[in-house]
Amino acid sequence: MATPPLPGDFVEVVAGEVARAVERAMELWMAEFEGALENRELTTLGRLQAVRDIVDTYKRLTGKQQLGLIPTGLGGRQAKPKQEFAELL
């Protein structure tokens, strides 16, 4: 019979499972975005709307009204995430 995992081992196992689940979820979301952006049956505006629909679905499912964006200026300039992606790795 196998020895039960020690508390530290348990934490590592759970953390590994959570990390794999997050990675898989992100891969699925990115595949959705990629599918919308590469859909040649849609116009450019249609692709943008498809991406907007994905974001709206995410917000609806999570109950979020706004994502973690900070405006960088006026005049419709692009917003940027609070943290750079590389900082999260």
What are the extents of the domains in the chain?
7-88
Q: Which pLDDT tens digit goes with each residue over 27-46? A: 999 999 999 999 999 999 99
Secondary structure (3-state) at 80: strand
- The stretch 49-73 carries a mean pLDDT of 84
Tokens of 11: 């934490």
> From CA 29, how far away is CA 36, in angstroms rounded?
11
> From CA 76, how far away is CA 67, in angstroms rounded?
17
Tokens of 82: 């609070």
| Residue 21 CA from chain centroid, whole number | 12
Entry pTM: 0.60
Secondary structure (3-state) at 37: helix
